[in-house]
Amino acid sequence: MRRTWAPGRWLIILPPLLFLLIFFLIPFAFAFKISFAEAAPRVPPFTDVISFTADHHLRLAISFGNYRYLLTDEVYGVAYLYSLRTAFFSTLICLALGYPMAYAIARAPRPTQGLLLLIIMLPFWTSFLLRVYALEGIIRDTGFLNTALLHLGLISQPLHIMRTSVAVYLGIIYSYLPFMVLPLFATLEKLDPTLLEAAADLGSPPWRAFWDVTLPLSIPGVIAGSMLVFIPAVGEFVIPSLLGGPNQLMIGRVLWDEFFGNHDWPVASAVAIAFLLLLVGPIAIYQYYNVRQLEA
Amino acid sequence: MSPMERRSSVALLSVLFLGIALLYVPILVLIAYSFNASPLVNVWGGFSIAWYGQLLHNRQLLEGALLSLEVALAASSGAIVLGTLAAIALVRFTRFPGRLLLTGMVNAPLVMPEIITGITQLLLFVSMVQLLGWPHRGFTTIVLSHVTFCTAYVTITVQSRLQAADRSLEEAAQDLGATPARAFVEITLPIIAPALISSWLLCFTLSLDDLVISSFVAGPGASTLPMVIYSKVKLGVSPDINALASLIVCAVGACIVAARGFMIRGERRAAMEAQLAAR
């Protein structure tokens, strides 16, 4: 009889399970706790939420002030809405650009396919920060784009793109496009070509076959790709910070400033928790489709 | 091909090339700028490698680079071990308490905004120091937080590879008396080795690149290379950063292309061996 892993299997399961539990999941509990504290001039800079009094009684000092502050100071609402809107439209543009790209790669002959995938993947491997910086070299007033357009006589004044919403959109699309193309390609590649042949045999014109067969079957890829762009884009910090101006207030930037500028850790925690609650829906959708795809 | 189909493939290919151009033009322009003798970006002052020479004298950048390399080495190695274990657990053990939790925890870091991961992990480290007196902010905390998100990438890559791997060979080895662990090490490990190498490289570059999480957990004393670069770039375009960026992008690009070639060769050899074995 074949021996099983049974006794030793916890040696395999426990290290990653415990590590991720301690360093990924439990931190949220601490952030949750500290979001009810108050800023205080000490190390670390906040009051104790849970403490023990001298006679060993548990003492809870919960303050809802941070959440009240989030609701009353309009900066946070504006930043949340701006982040959601920017991420939503960038995701749509990525989808509009990424779908035809993925489709073209999926239809390319095998050896070319590998090369094209490598070309799409390569920017994903190279530094994110440096790529955003490289984009700045293109779109700034004295950048490549303006110099070229002025030289060609197409414009007489440089276009002001830096520190506008257009720059933030460009930055997100440029940085996250590969995340859209790859999952789309993965579902389009698995598509059975005989289905399209069947549709053609039954008299369907190609666009109709695409609409009725290809598109519905690629929905899991559309959702995975959109979530991989949308969720990180909502929380983007580097792009609005380097390319955006003071009006491109995204939630990631507000959190960063609250933490590094104002040193208000409890408010920053409350921003993070509120932000996380906003993301629970999209993340759950992503997980659902992801798990289903893996189990399939 | 009908004229309509031809038109649609021309349209598809144009979008593909437009997308690829969007991805590559900024980097190519940046590399061109790095050889510009003039410090002004819109003036071409002739070809020069002076900015590359200046990098060697920038202590702050060199120290940041050294710290980043050490962190990346430690984090990717740690993540390979944890991620492979998690992948084995998820692929081989279909039923165990906590399986759903583990699945969630390896997928969530991929989409979790870095800013949230960064602040929550910092709060954990700070609370741990209060309770246990460990870990102090710096190298250790940066490595721990990088291992966390890298583990997720390793698990996803290795998981898909393990699912594709043929289990019958391993079962045959067990039938011949090998323990499950030995059968895994001798049969399956070589099969998934290319996935391990490529995910190690991916972790290395992701760790080398991380700005947001590191900024939160590093504490006041330590600055990784992206932190140094960010504070310089925040002040505007600077020619020596162009040179540094070109170096990093080219080095990473070359490594990835080489690793890719290595992986494809490995896969071909594995396919050939499988064919021979089947005969």
Does residue B118 or residue A200 have the better pLDDT? B118
| Cα–Cα separations (whole angstroms), residue B1 to A202, B98, B206 | 18, 53, 44
More confident residue, B165 or B127: B127
The pLDDT, as a whole number, for residue B186 is: 87
Judged by a CB distance cut-off of 8 A, whether residue A130 touches chain B is: yes
- Picking from A103, A130, A252, the nearest residue to B249 by CB comes out as A130
Residue A240 lies in a domain: yes
Q: How many domains does chain A have?
A: 1
When divided into structural domains, chain B yields a total of 1
> Cα(B79)–Cα(B156) distance, rounded to whole angstroms?
12
A236·B85 Cβ contact <8 A: no
The total number of residues shown for chain B amounts to: 279
CA distances from B195 to A161, B69, B160 (A): 41, 22, 9
In-domain check, residue B45: no
pLDDT at residue A203, rounded to an integer: 85
Q: What are phi and psi of B203, to 5 degrees?
A: -60, -40
Q: Is residue B229 less than 8 Å (CB to CB) from chain A? A: yes
Please report the pLDDT score of residue A40 as a whole number.
85
* pLDDT tens, residue by residue, B45-81: 888 888 898 888 888 899 999 999 999 999 999 999 9
Q: Do A12 and B24 touch (CB under 8 A)?
A: no
Task: Tell me how long chain A is.
Answer: 296
Q: Is residue B20 part of a domain?
A: no
Q: Is the pLDDT of residue B270 over 70?
A: no
Measured between alpha carbons, how far is residue B95 from residues A10, A13, A136, B108 in Å?
A: 12, 11, 50, 21
Q: Name A289's Cβ contacts closer than 8 Å, sequence gap at least 6.
A: A220, A223, A224, A227
pLDDT of residue A1: 41
Determine the structural domain holding residue A91 and report its residue range: 73-263
pTM of the model: 0.89
Q: Is B10 on the interface with A (CB under 8 A)?
A: no
Residue B214 domain boundaries: 58-278
Q: Is residue B92 part of a domain?
A: yes
* Alpha carbon distances (Å) from B255 to B20, B168, B266: 20, 34, 16
Residue predicted with more confidence, B274 or B244: B244
CB contact, 8 Å: A184 with chain B?
A: no
The mean pLDDT values, 10 residues at a time, for chain A of 296 residues are 62 94 95 91 83 80 89 90 95 96 91 89 85 90 88 90 94 95 91 85 85 89 92 93 91 92 92 90 81 61
**Contact residues, A window 27-46, toward B, CB-based 8 Å cutoff:** 27-28, 30-31, 34, 44
CATH code (residue B197): 1.10.3720.10
Considering only residues B39 and B272, tell me which one the structure prediction assigns the higher pLDDT: B39
- Domain assignment present for residue B6? The answer is no
Are the Cβ atoms of B111 and A276 closer than 8 angstroms?
Answer: no
Q: Is A8 among the domain residues? A: no
Please give the pLDDT value at position A46. Answer: 87
Name the A residues in 149-168 with CB < 8 Å from any B CB: none
pLDDT at B279 over 70: no
Question: What is the per-residue pLDDT for A207?
Answer: 84
What was the pLDDT predicted at A237?
A: 94
Residue B231 forms contact with A (CB below 8 Å): no
- A18 inside domain: no
Output the average pLDDT for chain B.
88
List of chain A residues whose C-beta atoms are within 8 Å of the C-beta of residue B124: 22-23, 26-27, 30
Q: Which ipTM was obtained for this model?
A: 0.89
B101 and A178 within 8 Å at the Cβ level: the answer is no
B93 touches chain A (CB under 8 A): yes
Q: Chain A contacts of B232, Cβ < 8 Å? A: none
Specify the CATH number for the domain of residue A154: 1.10.3720.10
Which whole number is the average pLDDT over B256-265?
A: 77
Q: Examine residue A139 and state whether it is found in any structural domain, yes or no.
A: yes
Residue A50 lies in a domain: no
The answer to whether residue A294 is domain-embedded is no
A141 inside domain:
yes
Tokens 């391990």 -> residue: B196
Choosing among A1, A4, A19, which should be mutated to test the B contact, i.e. which has the most B CBs within 10 A?
A19
**Residue B259 above 80 pLDDT?**
no
- Asked if residue A10 belongs to a domain, the reply is no
- Identify which of B148, B241, B264 has the shortest CB distance to residue A20: B148
End-to-end CA distance of chain B: 41
Instruction: Average the pLDDT over B125-144 and give the result.
Output: 91
